[in-house]
Chains A and B, each alone.
Chain A
Amino acid sequence: MPDDRFEPKIVGFLCQWCSYTGADLAGTSRLQYPSTLRTVKLMCSGRVDPTFVVKALAGGADGVLIAGCHPGDCHYSEGNYRAMRRYPLLMQMLDQFGIERDRVRLEWISASEGEKFAQVVREMTERLKELGPLNWQGRSAQYCGAI
């Protein structure tokens, strides 16, 4: 049963050339989407170290969005391919950590796709509401107990 009062926290790692500009376009076009996203602007989706993703999840995020230029469109020619190659390995590892795959999403959003950006945030927010809070810190304290 989804909790209506639960507002998920999403950390979004957006590449500055495409996805951040796409988010900007969503704003200037006055598109409506939930205020669940905390944006971190990076030079490239290839800069998204998987460490950032687990750090966000451990630090209180319920989900992480990684967004970059479409394959073939990278400003640095192949940075986004690095993101693409790391993502499935990271998903396998998150499975093993017991973290649902839908909490971490990789999307290609170009500078002209403001609507797609808004839609991705809407969908992710809905899905995270269904999944509920990740609450890593609380669950970790419960797992280990005190000594």
Chain B
Amino acid sequence: MAKPKVAFYWCASCGGCEECVVDLNEDILKVVGAVDIALWPVALDFKKKDVEAWQPGEVTVAFINGAVRTSEQAEWVKLLRGKCPLVVAFGSCSHLGGIPGLSNFTTREESLANKYHRSPSVDNPSGTLPGLKTRVNGYELELPEFLPCVRRLDQVIEVDYYLPGCPPVPDLIMQAVTAILEGKLPPKGSVLAPDKSLCDQCPRKESKPEIMKIESFKRVATSTPDPEKCFLAEGYICMGPATRSGCGELCIRGNMPCRGCFGPTSESKDMGTKMLSAIGSLLDATTEEKSAELASTLVDPLGTFYRFSLPSSILKHRLS
């Protein structure tokens, strides 16, 4: 029997998700022994016409990483959706919007101006911005449109499964690949990771005090957390309470608080407000003035609580 074929595709992403496929180490040999890679732009040369020539169903599964920011990305993911019976959103950007999703904090025009006009390393005296069409040597060339906002994958196409993480961890990737090969998949729409919060798995959970009170917010940039204690009890924002487990607590073990890349559990509709709710109720304040004073020392609550999930939030973007 022919080996099943898989496709990897990338959209608005950093390349870390591609890297983590290689991070499978020796296990990648098991993967390539079991499947044929039909598309992987980062490593192998394929053209769009090759994909267009696929018979529907010929390629079993597409792993798509990255958020959708350009018209080209939207076109490609729609093409892959039409060809593949299974689509897996691979990594935080595809699952939730991810770091590129923070660009929904501003407008397209501002983003372009920052990149092409204001950036100190850019010399652009004519103020040129990327356009949709350009003429080179008598040919008219088209460029993809930089869309007005960032979308997660399932805001553009139907998605069957989600592999969370920035990037997804090797254990979960192997479990997902094995489940697909053996046909033992959970219900459609599942996130292929445990559904408990990170605090539940946290190696420091024993150090969590009975009553937690945050007297002031601390930042890892300006002070060093105790290597044993609960980060929140010390005043560091740790996204553990609002974040799904399954990552192997890598950041915690490296003495860094959780940033929330695995996204919320299935119980939560909005990661940021859930985290705000948790943090807010821990403030050591019994007056409105003190609450406001403490809150004002938390720099950038939106960027902190929605670091990976702004396009997945209820409000999705800044109102302009």
Binding site for B on A (CB under 8 A): 46, 49-51, 53-55, 57-58, 71, 81-82, 84-93, 96-99, 136, 139-140, 143-145, 147
Q: Which of B45-53, B129-137, B269-277 contacts A (4 or more CB under 8 A)?
A: B269-277
Q: Are A99 and B319 in contact (CB under 8 A)?
A: yes
Residues of A within 8 A of B315 (CB): 54, 57-58, 97, 99, 136
Q: Are A87 and B148 in contact (CB under 8 A)?
A: no
Binary per-residue interface labels of chain B (264-293) against chain A in the complex, 1 for a CB within 8 Å, 0 otherwise: 000011101110110111110111100110
Residues of B within 8 A of A87 (CB): 280, 288, 291
Which residue of A has the minimal Cβ distance to B285? A85
Q: Are B320 and A139 in contact (CB under 8 A)?
A: yes
Interface hits, B37-77 → A, CB 8 Å: 68, 71, 74
Residues of A within 8 A of B300 (CB): 96
B207 CB-CB contact with A under 8 Å: no
Q: Are A49 and B318 in contact (CB under 8 A)?
A: no
Q: Are A50 and B74 in contact (CB under 8 A)?
A: no
Which residue of B has the minimal Cβ distance to A86? B280
Residues of A within 8 A of B148 (CB): 143-145
Q: Are A49 and B277 in contact (CB under 8 A)?
A: yes
Given A50-B273, A88-B296, A97-B302, A147 contacting B71 (CB threshold 8 A): yes
Count of chain B residues near A, Cβ 8 A: 46
Residues of B within 8 A of A81 (CB): 285-286
Q: Are A93 and B305 in contact (CB under 8 A)?
A: yes
In the complex, A91→B279 CA distance in Å? 14
Q: Are B280 and A85 in contact (CB under 8 A)?
A: yes
B180 CB-CB contact with A under 8 Å: no
Binding site for A on B (CB under 8 A): 68, 71, 74, 105, 107, 147-149, 151, 156, 268-270, 272-274, 276-277, 279-283, 285-288, 291-292, 294-296, 298, 300-303, 305, 313-320
Residues of A within 8 A of B294 (CB): 85, 88
Q: Find B314's partner among A58, A89, A92, A143 (CB 8 Å cutoff).
A: A58
Q: Are B314 and A50 in contact (CB under 8 A)?
A: no
Q: Are B319 and A54 in contact (CB under 8 A)?
A: no
Which residue of B has the minimal Cβ distance to A55? B314
In the complex, A76→B107 CA distance in Å? 44
Interface centre among B276, B300, B302, B318 (most CB of A within 10 A): B276
Q: Are A88 and B277 in contact (CB under 8 A)?
A: no
Q: Are A147 and B147 in contact (CB under 8 A)?
A: yes
Q: Are B318 and A92 in contact (CB under 8 A)?
A: no
Q: Are B288 and A96 in contact (CB under 8 A)?
A: no
Q: Tell me what chain A mostly uses at the interface: helix, strand, loop, or mixed.
A: helix
Q: Are A98 and B320 in contact (CB under 8 A)?
A: yes
Interface centre among B273, B279, B320 (most CB of A within 10 A): B273
Residues of A within 8 A of B285 (CB): 81, 84-85
Q: Find B320's partner among A54, A57, A90, A143 (CB 8 Å cutoff).
A: A143
Q: Find B316's partner among A46, A99, A140 (CB 8 Å cutoff).
A: A140
Residues of A within 8 A of B317 (CB): 140, 143-144
Question: What are some 5 contacts across the A-B interface (CB < 8 A)?
Answer: A58-B314, A85-B282, A87-B280, A93-B302, A96-B318
Residues of A within 8 A of B276 (CB): 50, 86, 89-90, 93
In the complex, A85→B289 CA distance in Å? 10
Given A58-B315, A81-B286, A147-B71, A50 contacting B298 (CB threshold 8 A): no
Residues of A within 8 A of B318 (CB): 96-98
Residues of A within 8 A of B156 (CB): 147
Q: Are B301 and A82 in contact (CB under 8 A)?
A: no
Residues of B within 8 A of A144 (CB): 147-149, 151, 316-317
18 additional contacts, CB 8 Å, given A51-B274, A92-B295? A49-B273, A50-B277, A55-B269, A55-B314, A58-B314, A71-B287, A81-B285, A82-B280, A84-B288, A84-B291, A85-B283, A88-B292, A89-B298, A140-B319, A143-B107, A144-B149, A147-B68, A147-B156
Q: Are B277 and A54 in contact (CB under 8 A)?
A: no
Residues of B within 8 A of A86 (CB): 276-277, 280-281
In the complex, A54→B302 CA distance in Å? 13
Given A49-B274, A143-B320, A147-B156, A89 contacting B280 (CB threshold 8 A): yes
